[in-house]
Each structure stands twice: as structure tokens, then as C-alpha cells.
Amino acid sequence: MTELESQILETWRIHQRSTIFLIEHISDEALKATLSTRGGRDVARQLAHVNNVRVWRLEVFAKKIGAKLAEFAKGENPSKKKLLKAFVQSGEVIDKYIQQAIENGGAVSNFKRGVVPMIGYYIWHEAHHRGHILLTMKQSGHKVPDALKWNIWEWNKI
């Protein structure tokens, strides 16, 4: 693997570690927080949605490598433990998918523009929801731990 290919894979891994860090630092009470007055997603359901998007995008590849991915039912409020397990699992499959794509010259079967735009899609989508989650926590009165506010920006340490 070239240095550039390693950096591409490391970009995904940093993002994955940041997401795991986020989930680990959300209190059980904050997982229930929502700003919606009409039944919109609380924090746990936002995270469930993010994981489900990963699962939907990886369905064919996961079957090919024999990986079973956890998917959450619509409206399910998974526990932190379930969320962590699902995100670790789906993150590892994405990691393998990226590695295979790099070995295949960047081609991926479910994203016609290639592996780098696919990684950008995942990161953009998940960062969008991370922002919503942090805003929901803050505006609903749940303290965002200092480690969560600042450490997610320490990319050389994550």
C-alpha cells in the first residue's frame, strides 16, 4: 500500500474512532434527548439511523465476506452498548471495503465515483448527524463533556 493509500485508509479510521469516542461520551440520559415536538429522532435514534445507512450501503459486500451487521428497527432506541457494538462492527466492514477498493484501483460496486468520494459521503453524512447530536444535547440541557468538545479535534491523537 502506498503512503497516499495508507492516508486514505487512516482518514476513515480517524473518523471511526471519533464516532466511537462520541458515543462513549454521551450519557444514557442524553441518548433520549430530542428537540423535536413532533416525534423526530432522539440522539439514540439519530445514531441508529447513521449505522443503518452504513449497513444499507454495505449490504452486498458484507454478505460477500460473511459479515453480519446489526441493523436497528425504525423507531428503536438502542442502548449505548448496542450502538457501540454496531458501530464497531460496521466500521470494521467499511475498513475492509476501503482496503479492497484500494487494492482494486479505487473502484467500489456501490459508489460509481470511487472509494474516495464514497469515504467523503460517509464522513459528510455522519458529521452532519454528529453536529445535530451535539446541538440537541446542548439545547436540551445536557452538558457536553469537555473531552467531547475538544478532543474530537485532536486528529493527531485520535
Predicted local distance difference test score (pLDDT) of residue 145: 85
User: pLDDT tens digits for 35-84?
Assistant: 988 878 999 999 999 999 999 999 988 888 999 999 999 989 999 999 99
pLDDT band at residue 140 under the 50/70/90 scheme: very high
Asked if residue 157 has pLDDT above 80, the reply is: no
Name, in order, each residue with C-beta under 8 angstroms of 133's C-beta and a sequence gap of 6 or more: 22, 26, 43, 46, 47
Has residue 148 got a pLDDT over 90?
A: no
Least confident range from 35-49, 72-86, 113-127, 139-153: namely 139-153
User: Could you tell me the pTM of the whole model?
Assistant: 0.92
pLDDT reported for residue 76: 93
pLDDT for position 55:
96
The model's pLDDT over 93-114, given as tens digits with 9 standing for 90+, comes to 999 999 999 999 999 988 889 9
Kindly list the structural domains of the chain, giving each domain's residue range(s) and its CATH number in brackets, ordered by start.
3-151 (1.20.120.450)
Q: How far, rounded to the nearest angstrom, does the alpha carbon of residue 72 sit from its chain's CA centroid?
A: 14
Cα-Cα end-to-end distance for the chain: 22
pLDDT band with cut points at 50, 70 and 90 for residue 26 = very high
Planar angle of CA 83, 150, 137, nearest 5 degrees: 50
